[in-house]
Structure 1
C-alpha cells in the first residue's frame, strides 16, 4: 500500500515538474516563433486526446479525425470572419458540427470491421475536402477563408503570443483531465474490453455498438475543439486542414506517444511538432532525418513512449478492494431457459435442425456429439452470437429469440468459450471487473464484486496478476469467475475441462456442482466423458444438428444411436 502511494505521488510530482518546465520555457525562453510551435503542439495534443479514445481505447482506426478537425476549423473561420461572431457562438458550433456528422456516419460505418471501417471514415474525409474546394461562395474554395479574428469571448480577445499559447494549453489541460477520467472510468474500461474482443464484450452485457458510437462522437468533439483553436491561431482556414497529412500527424502522435494514454498524446504532440523544427537546420535532408528519428522511436518503443516507460519502470500493484458479494438475481426454481425448434443454416448446410432444450435451476445438462454436430452453434445461438432461422428462446420466462448478445446477457445468461478469452495486458481483477461494468455505476464497486468472484472460485491470490502467462487451469478459473461475477441464472460452458489435469478436473467439477447448488442452470459442452457423465444430471447428444439423445447420463453408453454416431467402441 505504501509503495503504491509513493509511486502515485512520484508520478504526480513528475507530471507537475514537466508542466512547470513547459510553463518556464513559455515564460522565460521561448521566442515568438517558439510560442507558435508550442501552440500548434497543444492543438494537436487536443485532437489526439479524442483519437486516443476511439483508436487507443476503442481499437477502431478512424481516419475521420482530421476531417472533424477541419470541419471545426471551417465553422469557426466562416462564422468569425464573415459574420463577426465571437467564441461564445463559434466554439460551441465547432463542437456541434462534427457531432452532427459523426452521429449518422458512426451509425452507418461502426458495424464494419477493421480496414473496412478505416476506408469508410477516410471516404468521409475525402467528401468533406471536395465540398470545401467546390463551394467557393461558402468556404472560399481552394483559397480558403482569410481574416479570421483571434479567440474572443465576452469582449476579451487573446492576442498572439503568450496569451494564445496559454489559452490553448489551458484547453489542453481541461481536455486531458476529461480524457484521463474517461480512460480510467467505466467507459474507458468497457472500450478496452471491446477493443480486445468485441464478441466476449457483448456476451458480458456490453452494448458494443453504443460504446463505439460514444467513443466516435467524443473523438469528433475533441477534434472540433482543436480545429477551432487552430484557426484562431493561424487566422486563416484553407482546405489544407482537411488533407490527409493532418490525419497522419494525429495517428503518428497516438502511436509514438502510446495508444490509449492521454499523457502519450501530450508527449507525442510535443515531440512530433517540435522534431521538424530541431532538424530544420539540415535544410533539404531534414525530412530524411525526421523520418529516421520516428522509425527509431517506433522500433525502440513499439508500445509508444509511455509503454516504454511502463516497461522500464513497472508500476507496483494497486491496493486491492475488499471482496463484496454482488446482488443476486431473484431466486427461482424450475425452468431458467427454454429453446424450442431452433434451426440454423449456413448456406446449404443445416447446423441445427429443430433442436429443443430445457434448462432448470440447480440442474447440470451435458451437451455432447461428434465434431460438426452443432454443439457450439447451439450455445452461440442461445447466447445471441448467431441469429436463428426459426425457433424460439426464453430466459426466465422472457422472450429472447434473436436478441442481441448484450441483452441476453443482461437477462441472466453468461457463457465461456473454448479458449479462455482474457485480455493479456489486464490483471485478473480487471478482467473479472469488466463483467460488472454494465451493472455497477462505479469502477470501485465492480472491482469489489470481482474480488468476491475470484475468492469464490479459489483464485483470489491472482487478483493482481496479469492474465498473460496464466496456466490453462487458472485462466479457466478466472474466466469462470468473470461469468460468476454477473450472478447469472444460466451458465453455458464450452469445453471447460480441455487441457486440465485429472486433479484440476476434479476441482472444476466440485465448483460447478456448487454453482448448481446455488440455483444456477448449467449447460456444459464437453468431449471428456469421464469428466462429464459423473457431473451431469442430464445429457443431450446432437448429431448433424439434430437431437439424438436426451436423458440420464447412465443411458448414454447404452444408447445404440449415441454409440454409432459418437462413442463408438467406448460405449460397448
Structure 2
C-alpha cells in the first residue's frame, strides 16, 4: 500500500485530466449501464450539479455563505412552472425568465446584505429564503399554494420534445457542461483570482485596486443565475412545481455537495452531486439503516478529506506545475517631482477616543518619511485613513488636486497609493507568484501578463527563487519581502509601509533598507512606520512622531533623540 501511495505521489497529470476522466465515466455509465431509474437519478444529479456549480462561485470562490441559493433555485423553478402550466409557454420563453428573475432579485437584495459580514450575511440570506417560501405557500392563486402546480410541460428544443430517459439526461448534463465550462473559465481567469483574494483577505484586496463590493455582488448575482437555471431544469424533469423546491433541505444538499466535492471547484460540484444523489440508492438494500450509513459515509468523507474529494485527488495526483513566465517590467507611471501626497488636519475618533487628532504631513517624491510613536499613538490608524480602510471624521488627503479622504480603498489604490500591513497577510493556498500577481489583476489584461510583472517585482527584491513556492510556511522575513514585492508590483507613486522591519535580523534589516532606498530613487514617496530607531533614523529624511493622535515632532531625524517631548513620550531618558 505504501508503495502504491509513493507511486501515486510521483505522478503528475494535466490540470484537465481529472475532469476528463470524470466525464468519460459518466458517459460510459449513462450509455452502457444505467437503468431507466438510474438515468432519472443521474438527471436529478445533473440538476444539483448545476446548482452547486453556481454555489461554488459565491461560496467557494467568494467565501460568502449564501443561504438564499435554495431560494433562487425555487424561484427559477416557479418561474418555469407558472409560465409553463398556466400560460402554456415553451422552454424557449420560460428558461430565460427563470434566469432573469433570480438575477434581478439577487441584485436587489445583494446591495444591502453583502455589506454584512460572516454569519450575519448567512442569517440575512436565510431570512430572504424563508420569506420567499412563505410567499409561495400563501399565494395559491399564483403558485398553487401548498399543493403546487402540476402539468408543467417538458423541454422542447427546436421543435423536438425531449423524452425522459437518456435524451433528457443528455440535455441536463449538456447544460451542466456549458455552465461548468463558463465557471471553470472564470475561476481560472483574472476575475476568479480577484474573487479568491476577496475571500481570503478583503482588506488587502481593496488596497490592491480591486472593487470588493462589486466582485461580491457579481458573484452573488451569477450564482443566482445558475440556481435559477437548475430550478427550471428540475421542474421540467419532475413536471410539477411545489413549495418543496424552496425548502431548506435543497439548500443543505447544495452546501453538502460543495463541501464534500471540494470548495471552489467545478469538478467538486459535479463529483459531489453524483455521489450524494447515488449514495442513498447504493445503500438502499440496508432498508431502515441506510440513512445512518449514508450520514456516516458523509462524515467520514469530511473528516478524511477536509478539502473535499477533489482536494484528495489533487494530493494523490498533483497537477504539473506551470512554467514560470519571463519577468517583464510593468509600465512606468510618470511621477512628478515635488509634493505627491498632502495630509491636512486629518482626524478620526473611535467612541470617545481621538485616535488621530489634526495630523498633517507632506510626502515628497523620491523621499522617505519616518512615522514613529508609542503603541496606540495613531500610526496605523493614520495609514488606514490614507489608504481608505478607515473613513476620517475630518481633514483632507490630497493626491495631486484630488481629495481622496473617505474614498474606497480600490479608488485610492488606483490613484497611485500602495501599502503593506503590520501583520503580513498572504493567501496560504497560493504560490508566491500568484500572491504578488494579485497586485496586477486590476491593471493587466491576462494572468500571464500579471505573473510576468509579478516576477519582475520579486526579481527586483532578490526573491525570484521564491516564485513557485507556496505562501504557507514562509518565514517572517520572506513573507515581508513577498508583501513588499506585491506593493511594488503596482508601481505606486506613494508607498505606505507599516513596520516592515518587524521580526527581521540586523542583516535582513540592512538588506531591506537598501531595497527601500532603491525604490525611493525611482521617484516613489515612502512613509515608513517603525519602532526600530537604529533602522529608521539613518533611512528617513524626515520624521513625524505621534502621541495620543497628535503630532509631537516633525523634522529631521537628527533632532528626534534630542527633542524633550519625544524623549519623554516615546524614547525614554536612556535613548
Residues 267-317 of structure 1 show CA distances to partners (whole Å, capped at 9, x for unaligned) of 100111101111112111111111001000001001101111222333342
Q: CA RMSD in A?
A: 1.2
2:392 match = 388
8 Å contact from structure 2 (residues 385, 405) kept in 1: no
Query: Residue 493 of structure 1 corresponds to which residue in structure 2?
Result: 497
Contact 1:56–1:261 (8 Å) recurs in 2: yes
Compute the displacement of 1:396 (Å).
Answer: 3.0
Distance 1:396 1:495 in 2: 26
CA deviation after TM superposition for structure 1 residue 103, in Å: 0.2
Q: Is 1:123 equivalent to 2:121 in the alignment?
A: no
| Corresponding residue SS for 1:382 | helix
Task: Spell out the pairing of 1:298-377 with structure 2 (5 A cutoff).
Answer: 298-377=302-381
Match of 1:291 in 2: 295
Deviations 1:398-444 (A, max 9, x none): 21111111110010000001121101110000000011001112111
**57, 61, 81: which one aligns with 2:65:** 61
1:98-109 pair list within 5 angstroms: 98-109=102-113
Distance in 1 of aligned mates of 2:262 and 2:133: 29
1:383 touches 1:415 (CA, 8 Å); kept in 2? yes
Q: After superposition, give the CA deviation of every residue in 1:189-210 in whole Å (9 maximum; x if it has no partner).
A: 0011011111111111111000
Query: Does structure 2 conserve the Cα–Cα contact (< 8 Å) formed by 1:367 and 1:541?
Result: yes
Q: Of 13, 30, 33, which residue of structure 2 is paired with 1:29?
A: 33
Residue by residue over 1:502-524, the C-alpha shift from the partner in whole angstroms, topping out at 9 and shown as x without a partner, is 00000000000000000000000
Preserved contact between residue 193 and residue 434 of structure 1 (Cα < 8 Å): yes
1:41: Cα distance to partner? Answer: 0.4
- 1:7-46 aligned at under 5 Å gives the runs 10-46=14-50
1:72-111 superposed matches below 5 A? 72-111=76-115
SS of the residue aligned with 1:394?
strand
If the length of structure 1 is used for normalisation, what is the TM-score? 0.97
Distance in 1, matches of 2:73 and 2:567, equals 66
Tell me the secondary structure at the aligned position of residue 557 of structure 1: coil
Matched, 1:163 2:167: yes
Does residue 183 in structure 1 map to residue 187 in structure 2? Answer: yes
Q: Which runs of 5+ in 1 are unaligned?
A: 1-5
Aligned residue for 2:415?
411
Deviation at 1:187, TM superposition (A): 1.0
**Conservation of the 8 A alpha-carbon contact between 2:69 and 2:251:** yes
1:10 Cα deviation from its structure 2 partner: 4.8
Question: Is contact 1:86–1:153 with CA below 8 Å preserved after alignment?
Answer: no
Q: Indicate conservation of the 8 Å contact 2:73/2:229, yes or no.
A: yes
Q: Partner residue of 2:507?
A: 503
Over 3 Å counting, the alpha-carbon distance change for 1:494 and 1:138 in structure 2 is same
CA distance in 2, matches of 1:12, 1:310: 12
String of CA shifts for 1:526-554, please: whole Å, max 9, x gaps.
00000000000000000111101000000
Q: How far does the alpha carbon of each residue in 1:344-371 deviate from its partner, in whole angstroms, 9 at most, with x for none?
A: 1110011111000100101100000111
Partner of 1:544: 548
1:98 touches 1:221 (CA, 8 Å); kept in 2? yes
Give secondary structure in 1 for the equivalent of 2:341: strand
Q: CA deviation at 1:14?
A: 4.7
> Structure 1 pair 10/318, CA: closer, same or farther in 2 (3 Å)?
closer
> After superposition, where does 1:176-255 map in structure 2 within 5 Å?
176-255=180-259
CA distance in 1, matches of 2:25, 2:383: 58
- What's the counterpart of residue 526 of structure 1? 530
Give the stretch that moved more between structures: 496-505 or 442-451.
442-451
Distance (Å, rounded) in 1 between the aligned partners of 2:216 and 2:560: 46
Counterparts in 2 of 1:403 and 1:11: CA distance versus 1, 3 Å: closer
2:566 paired with 1:565? no
* 3-state SS in 1 of match to 2:241: coil
Which stretch of structure 1 is more off in the superposition, 562-571 or 57-66? 562-571
- Separation (CA, whole Å) in 1 of partners of 2:299 and 2:13: 33
Q: In the alignment, does 2:442 pair up with 1:441?
A: no
Partner residue in 1 for 2:7:
none
Q: 1:3 aligns to what?
A: none
Q: Which runs of 4 or more aligned residues in structure 1 lie more than 4 Å from their structure 2 counterparts after TM superposition?
A: 6-11
TM-score with structure 2 setting the length:
0.97
Aligned residue for 1:439, secondary structure, equals: coil
- How much does 1:8 deviate? 7.5
Contact 2:335–2:365 (CA under 8 A) maintained in structure 1: no
Corresponding position: 1:154 with 2:169: no
Task: Name the counterpart of 1:279.
Answer: 283
SS at match of 2:537: helix
SS class of match (2:101): helix
Give SS of 1:570's match.
coil
Residue 137 (structure 1) aligns with: 141
Q: How many residues get paired?
A: 566
SS of 1:83's partner is coil
Tell me by how many angstroms 1:331 deviates.
2.5
2:271 match: 267
Is the partner of 2:86 in helix, strand or coil? helix
